[in-house]
């Protein structure tokens, strides 16, 4: 089942940059924009991004990966479950949920590390990036 979509007006310069990235990676401009927005504002629900894929990302996309954090509801729930676990009040279902959230967090850390490595290889000052809230 297709998800509902919304039309979005994108400045020409952004669309042209997306087309450049798309042509370099053999994808559509739309998929580049959607992936970029997912990295910035959402979760990677339909795609499981693997670290190897980051080598094809533009610097801007890598920076989005660096700045991405676990979605607020997941972060809050993970903290709740960890507190319950420390108190010995966690159910088996909650343990499974906690393990899933920890796996998502670990995957995100792996992606962030790979994005930083790719940026460093491209000549970016990683120390400066990290000092400015990365």
Please determine, for residue 47, whether its predicted confidence score (pLDDT) is greater than 70: no
First-last CA distance in the chain: 36
* pLDDT attached to residue 88: 92
Confidence of residue 46 (pLDDT cuts 50, 70, 90): very low
**Please, what's the largest Cα pairwise distance for the chain?**
55
Judge contact between 97 and 85, C-beta under 8 A.
no
In angstroms, the Cα distances linking 8 to 28, 41, 52, 104 are 16, 15, 30, 29
Confidence of residue 6 (pLDDT cuts 50, 70, 90): confident
Please determine, for residue 75, whether its predicted confidence score (pLDDT) is greater than 60: yes
Identify the CA nearest to 59 among candidates 127, 128, 116, 13: 116
- Each domain of the chain, given as residue ranges in start order, spans 12-131
* pLDDT attached to residue 41: 64
């Amino acid at each position: 089942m297709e998800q509902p979509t919304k039309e979005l007006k994108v400045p020409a310069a952004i669309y042209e940059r997306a087309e450049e990235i798309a042509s370099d990676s053999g994808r559509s401009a739309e998929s580049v924009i959607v992936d970029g927005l997912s990295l910035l504002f959402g979760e990677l629900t339909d795609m499981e991004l693997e670290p190897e894929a980051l080598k094809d990302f533009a610097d801007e996309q890598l920076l989005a990966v660096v700045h991405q954090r676990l979605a607020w509801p997941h972060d809050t729930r993970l903290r709740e479950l960890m507190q319950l676990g420390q108190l010995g009040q966690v159910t088996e279902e909650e343990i499974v949920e906690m393990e899933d959230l920890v796996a998502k967090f670990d995957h995100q850390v792996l992606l962030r590390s790979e994005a930083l490595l790719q940026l460093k290889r491209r000549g970016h000052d990683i120390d400066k990036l990290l000092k400015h809230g990365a």
